[in-house]
Amino acid sequence: MTRSPRPSYLGPGFVLALCVRLLTSALAIAIPLFAVTVLGATASEAGVFVLLLWVGNAVGVIAAVLALRNQSYSSVAGFFVVALSMVGLAEAGSSLAPIFMLAAGAGVGLPQPFLSAFMHIDSRPGRPFSGMGLYSTALGIGLILGPLVAYGAYPLFGFPGVFLALSGVCAVGVAGAALGHGSVTSRPVPPPPSPSALAGAFRVNVFTRAIITNLLYSLLLPVFLSYGAIYAEGKFGFTPASALLLFTGVFALSVALRLSAVRFEGRLDRILLLSLAVLLLSTLSLGLAPSWPFFVAGMLLFSVPHAYVFPIANYYALSSRGEDVMNASYAFQASSAVAEFVAPAAAVLIIPFSGVHGLFLIGALLASGALAVAVGSFELRSQPP
C-alpha cells in the first residue's frame, strides 16, 4: 500500500512566519515609542521595555522547545497570549505595562522554534534554498505590515488602537496553525536540544561561521528596530507616524530584494559579503548623520543586509548539518536570542554616555567583525575539494 505524501508546511509556515514577524516588528518599534511618548521614559529607560520584550521572547521559545514541542499547540497558545497582552496594553495603566510587554514577548516566542526547520525540510525538489527563501520572504512581508498596521491605526486611535489592531493579527496566526496541523501531526515530535549534537555541529567550520555571523548581525537588528525610531524622533524631528512609515519603506525594499535571492542560489556567498559591506556603510551613515537625508539614506541601506544576512546564514547553518536540522535550528535561533537580549541591555548602559548615535558607531565595529567572519567562510567554501 502506498503511503500518502506528507502535507507541505510551506503554506502554513508562510502564514505563521508572516504573523510572528509582523507582531515582533510592530512591537519592537511601537513599544519604545509608547514608552517615550506615553509613559514619559527617556531613551535609555525605553531600552528596559524593549529588553522585557526580548526576555519574554526567550521564555516563549524555551517553553515551546522543552515543554510543548508541538508547532500547532505552541502557535495557538502563543497568539492567544499575545492577543491578551495587546488588550491589556490598550486598556491598562502604565503600572501594568511591563507585565504585558513581557507576556507579549513570550507569546511571540512560542510559535518560533520549529518553524524555519520545518520549512527548510519541505524545500521543493532541486531547490534547496526554496524553503528558507519562502520563510525569509514571509518575515520580510511581516516586517512591512508591522509598522504599516501601526501607522494606519496610530493617527486615528493612538497607541490603544495600535495594540488592538495587533491583537486582531493573532486570529490570522491561529488560522495558519490550524491550516498546518495535518502536516505537524504527520511528523516525528521535534527532539529536545542535544548537547552532544550541538558540540559536534560547532566542529563544522561553515556552521560555526554562520552562527557567529548571525550573532553579530542580530546584535545590530534590535538597535535598528527599536532605536531607529527614537533617533529619528529625537534628533531629526520625525513624528511617530512618519518614523513608522519610514520603516515600512525600508522593509518593503528588503522584501523586494529577498524575492530575488531564490534565483541566485549559486551566488549566496557573494550576496552575503555584499550585504555585510553595506551593513557597515549603513551603521556609519546613521552614526555620523548630520541631517535627516543622511539618516534616511542609512536606513534604506540597511534594507540590503536585512534582506539577506539572516536567511543566508540560516540556510548555511541548517544545510551544513545534513539530517540534524532541528538541533542546528536550535543553535541558530539561540544565537539570535542571545543577541536580542544582550543588545537592548547594553543599549541601556551605553546611551547615557554616547547617545543613540553612539549605538550605531559601535555597531560599525560589529558589522566589520561579521564581514571578516564571512570573508573567511567564503574563502573556505571557494577552495577546491
Write the pLDDT tens digit of every residue in 325-345. 888 888 888 888 888 788 878
d(CA 365, CA 219): 11
pLDDT band at 29 (very low <50, low <70, confident <90, very high): confident
pLDDT of 382:
43
pLDDT at 228 over 50: yes
pLDDT band at 380 (very low <50, low <70, confident <90, very high): very low
Task: Answer positive or negative: Cα dihedral of 112, 58, 346, 234.
Answer: positive
pLDDT of 150:
82
Question: What percent of the chain is modeled with pLDDT above 70?
Answer: 93
Other C-beta atoms lying within 10 Å of the C-beta of residue 297: 15
Q: Which has the higher per-residue pLDDT, 160 or 230?
A: 160
pLDDT of 274:
93
Nearest to 227, CA basis, from 108, 320, 358: 358
pLDDT of 261:
62
Which helix H or strand E contains 128, and what residues bound it?
none
**Once rounded to an integer, what is the mean pLDDT over residues 3-30?**
86
Alpha helices in the chain (DSSP H): 10-37, 43-63, 71-91, 97-109, 115-121, 130-179, 181-185, 195-201, 205-222, 228-236, 240-261, 268-287, 292-319, 325-382
Q: Which has the higher per-residue pLDDT, 269 or 63?
A: 63
pLDDT of 385:
34
pLDDT of 147:
79
Distance from chain centroid for Cα 269: 21
pLDDT of 120:
87
Out of 35-44, 94-103, 153-162, 288-297, the most confident range is 288-297
CATH of span 10-382: 1.20.1250.20
d(CA 258, CA 261): 5
Task: Answer positive or negative: Cα dihedral of 197, 203, 209, 215.
Answer: positive
pLDDT in tens, 68-117: 889 999 999 999 999 999 999 888 656 788 899 999 999 999 999 889 88
d(CA 116, CA 309): 15
pLDDT band at 263 (very low <50, low <70, confident <90, very high): low
Q: Which has the higher per-residue pLDDT, 125 or 228?
A: 228
CB 332 within 8 A of CB 317: yes
Mark 33-62 as b/e (b = at least 16 C-beta within 10 Å): bbbbbeeebebbebbbbbbbbbbbbbbbbb
pLDDT of 304:
94
pLDDT at 140 over 90: no
45, three cell numbers: 529607560
pLDDT band at 19 (very low <50, low <70, confident <90, very high): very high
**Chain mean pLDDT for the chain:** 86
Question: What percent of the chain is modeled with pLDDT above 90?
Answer: 34
Q: Which has the higher per-residue pLDDT, 192 or 215?
A: 215
pLDDT band at 265 (very low <50, low <70, confident <90, very high): low
pLDDT in tens, 281-326: 999 999 999 999 999 999 999 999 988 998 889 888 888 877 678 8
pLDDT band at 197 (very low <50, low <70, confident <90, very high): confident
